[in-house]
Amino acid sequence: MEKAVDNSARTFMDMMRMPVLFYRSIGEDIYAHRSTNPLKSLLLKIYLYAGFINFNLLVIGELVFFYNSLQDFDTIRLAIAVAPCIGFSLVADFKQVAMVNGRKTMIMLLDDLEDMHPKTLEKQKEYKLSDFEKTMKRVINIFTFLCLAYTTTFSFDPAIKASVKFNLLGYDTFDRNFGFLIWFPFDATSSNWVYWIMYWDIAHGAYLAGIAFLCADLLLVVVITQICMHFNYISMRLEQHPCKSEEDRENIEFLIGIIRYHDKCLKLCESVNDLYSFSLLLNFLMASMQICFIAFQVTESTVEVIIIYCIFLMTSLVQVFLVCYYGDTLIAASLRVGDAAYNQKWFQCSKSYCSMLKLLILRSQKQASIRPPTLPPISLVTYMKVISMSYQFFALLRTTYSVN
């Protein structure tokens, strides 16, 4: 790979900017192994662990509230209201655990991608980096906006609503409510100072959950975008190779380089699966239930609650679609390598070259993909199945609730 870096070229760290910055805002430093300031790294780690201890205590409070609400039919709607928030929190928790457990894999994956990243502007044009980056940025911006909008509206809606009533509309009392349904072992609204301490504590927990949920997917988007770019470059090189019969040695050397390059990309895909497979399994299992419960809230609530839960619903739908879209894109990009190899003028080359090309085509027919355990490779078909399952749960829930 090129050693010199063109100042006008986009670096790998430019593409990693969003997940790196957001992760650091909760104390998670992806590149802590490169840090030259051990004190800063230690403080970030303390901040991260303190945040997650607080967050998990709040999740326990949600679970207790959920259990208590199930004890009486009159409060079942409250259980349904808190259920998607619990699902979101558990997925965020598990994603962070997966990142911590797979840190070595993640570091190796990111280092390999950075090493393979085209360094000069001319090379980046050959790779069509700008096209891939443009799509990636749009996806990241949309999903980031929705994810932060969900946590922000849930966190600050009660305080804003109570402030408007108390300060502008002349209400006698300030309603001390929280954005999330959580059980406390004490009266969290007994006084102003207790209320506001708990309010900002919950707001921080919601932000941490949103960032942990968001950044794992942003990192996946960046990684899959890079791998697809490399697959696309391999396909383009194969299709453009002239395959002149009088240059058999050059042809074989070219093909050996391509096979090694292709094998490297396939190993990167395996690293992605090692890092994400189990967290995505939980993600898809929870997503079906989340979408079901959110949809129920949208159909059975007031206008204000409907607006808030609509943002939550859009976030959940977009998150599942995002993962499925990039899974589908990865499959298509890897299969395109075999098509490009076959479209060469291989009939002009030697038998040795054709035999090697045949092996490349056979290997490319085994698609690179994101594969959660026990589930088929993730694609847009997976998205349709998740939506279908969510609707079935929703119809069952509506029927059960209306009968009772």
Residue 203 one-letter amino acid? A
Evaluate whether 90 touches 282 at the Cβ level (below 8 Å): yes
Class of residue 242 by CB neighbours under 10 A (exposed 0-12, middle 13-18, buried 19+): exposed
Class of residue 340 by CB neighbours under 10 A (exposed 0-12, middle 13-18, buried 19+): buried
| Tens-binned pLDDT, residue by residue, of the chain (404 aa) | 444 555 567 889 999 999 999 999 999 999 988 888 989 999 999 999 999 999 999 999 999 999 999 888 778 888 888 999 999 999 999 999 999 999 999 999 999 999 999 999 999 999 999 999 999 999 999 999 999 999 999 899 888 888 888 888 777 788 888 989 999 999 998 888 999 999 999 999 999 999 999 999 999 999 999 999 999 999 999 988 887 766 778 888 889 999 999 999 999 999 999 999 888 888 888 888 888 888 888 877 778 788 888 888 899 999 999 999 999 999 999 999 999 988 888 887 788 888 888 999 998 888 899 998 888 899 999 999 999 988 888 888 888 766 55
Picking from 48, 21, 379, 33, the residue whose alpha carbon sits closest to that of residue 222 is 21
Give the pLDDT of residue 7: 54
Per the structure block, which two tokens stand in for 362? 């056979």
How far is residue 203's CA from residue 191's CA, in Å, rounded to a whole number? 18
Quote the pTM value: 0.91
Angle at 210 between CA 208 and CA 212, to 5 degrees: 65
Give the pLDDT of residue 174: 83
Q: Which residues are within 8 A (CB) of 381 and not within 5 positions of it... i.e. 6 or more apart?
A: none
Give the pLDDT of residue 294: 86
Give the pLDDT of residue 394: 85
Per the structure block, which two tokens stand in for 184? 């406390």
How far is residue 307's CA from residue 290's CA, in Å, rounded to a whole number? 16
Domain ranges for the chain, please list them.
18-403
Is the CA virtual torsion 305, 308, 312, 315 positive or negative? Answer: positive
Give the pLDDT of residue 256: 92
Give the pLDDT of residue 392: 87
Evaluate whether 59 touches 90 at the Cβ level (below 8 Å): yes
Class of residue 130 by CB neighbours under 10 A (exposed 0-12, middle 13-18, buried 19+): exposed
Per the structure block, which two tokens stand in for 13? 């760290």
| Calculated CA dihedral for residues 334, 109, 5, 222, nearest 10 degrees | 60
Give the pLDDT of residue 59: 95
Give the pLDDT of residue 225: 96
Give the pLDDT of residue 127: 93
